[in-house]
Structure 1
Amino acid sequence: MPDGRVCQVAALAYRLKKKRPEILLITSRGTGRWVLPKGWPQIGRTFAQSAQREAYEEAGVRGDVAPFSIGTYTYEKHDMCEGECGDFVVDVYPLRFSHQEKNWPERGERRLEWVALEECILRVEEPGLKVLIAGFNPDKITIG
């Protein structure tokens, strides 16, 4: 990124429960904070496909991903190697949940919880992510 921030991608995995969206939150491995599944863009995949892959690797979640980001948020990471800290900008891609695999690469390393939008906003720490979640409307998402 031109401003020195490192780009990551995140999956906003959602499902409808009684016509109301629920968002999948997972805990980060380092600090145990509630976050979206996120990681690095992968060579040979679009950002959306990379976000979809992170949802599987970190939470076992499968589903259809929207091709366009619903926005970005920023955060600082302080638990990097040798005391370094980094500034990250994260592109967020909605992923419509279809099912969860029985096994996945990071199973047992994180807690997972489906929560209502209001609860999700309370749990995540990044102000920009709170805004994205508050404005999330699955009826306005085009997938595929």
Structure 2
Amino acid sequence: MIPRSLQWLENVKLMLSRPEPVQLAALCYRVRPGKGTEVLLVTSSRGRWLLPKGWPITGLDSWETALQEAWEEAGVRSGTPWREPLTSFSTIKRHDNGIEQRCTVSVYPVEVREMREDYPEADRRERAWLGLAEACETVGEPALREVLQQFEQERAARA
């Protein structure tokens, strides 16, 4: 039996050893003749440019959740998602109550077929279609910049 004074330490060790929570992101893209590949960025509640993302949704596969987030946060009504993630990265999720939480974000590219102007979070977010180079300059998070660069390389390899 562990003495009471050590039980607290064991509980802290257990909490710290748990895997990071996971969010699922949609890297929405389109290929435009003469313009190349463009990606869709949205603003966060703090005004940072990022990919639509959210927590897993019970009953949906990860790629389905990414597609749902693309609808709710960016107005992507129809698209073809990759069934496997392009990559994942670690980031800090800043909650509205001020708590910061490290989490892993799995990124699912979605080739966009249809957009809507009226979508669930239209009044809370801006959105912008940007070329990959401009998108890399616009996002503030280095890990997200690397994801965009990796996507550009993967798209080129698949073409």
For Structure 1 versus Structure 2, the TM-score category normalised by the shorter chain is 0.7 to 0.9
Identity %: 35
Compared with structure 1, are the counterparts of its residues 107 and 53 closer, same or farther at alpha carbon in structure 2 (3 Å cutoff)? same
Higher helix share: 2
Provide the C-alpha distance between the structure 2 equivalents of 1:77 and 1:67, rounded to a whole number of angstroms.
24
Q: TM-score, normalised by structure 2?
A: 0.80
Provide the C-alpha distance between the structure 2 equivalents of 1:125 and 1:35, rounded to a whole number of angstroms.
8
Match of 2:75 among 46, 55, 60: 60
Provide the C-alpha distance between the structure 1 equivalents of 2:96 and 2:20, rounded to a whole number of angstroms.
15
Matches within 5 A, 1:1-144: 3-17=18-32, 18=34, 20-29=36-45, 31-61=46-76, 62-81=78-97, 83-136=98-151, 137-138=154-155, 140=157
Provide the C-alpha distance between the structure 2 equivalents of 1:108 and 1:127, rounded to a whole number of angstroms.
27
After TM superposition, the structure 1 stretch with the greater mean CA deviation from structure 2, 70-79 or 19-28, is 70-79
Deviation at 1:42, TM superposition (A): 0.6
Amino acid at match of 1:5: E
* Larger radius of gyration between Structure 1 and Structure 2: 2
- Kept after mapping to 2: 8 A contact 1:72/1:128: no
Provide the C-alpha distance between the structure 1 equivalents of 2:157 and 2:61, rounded to a whole number of angstroms.
21
Task: Name stretches of at least 5 consecutive residues in structure 1 with no aligned partner.
Answer: none
Relative contact order higher in (CA < 8 Å, ≥ 6 apart): 1
Task: Name stretches of at least 5 consecutive residues in structure 2 with no aligned partner.
Answer: 1-16
Deviation at 1:140, TM superposition (A): 4.9
Q: TM-score, normalised by structure 1?
A: 0.88
- Kept after mapping to 2: 8 A contact 1:73/1:126: no
Provide the C-alpha distance between the structure 2 equivalents of 1:3 and 1:19, rounded to a whole number of angstroms.
44
Q: Secondary structure at the match of 1:11?
A: strand
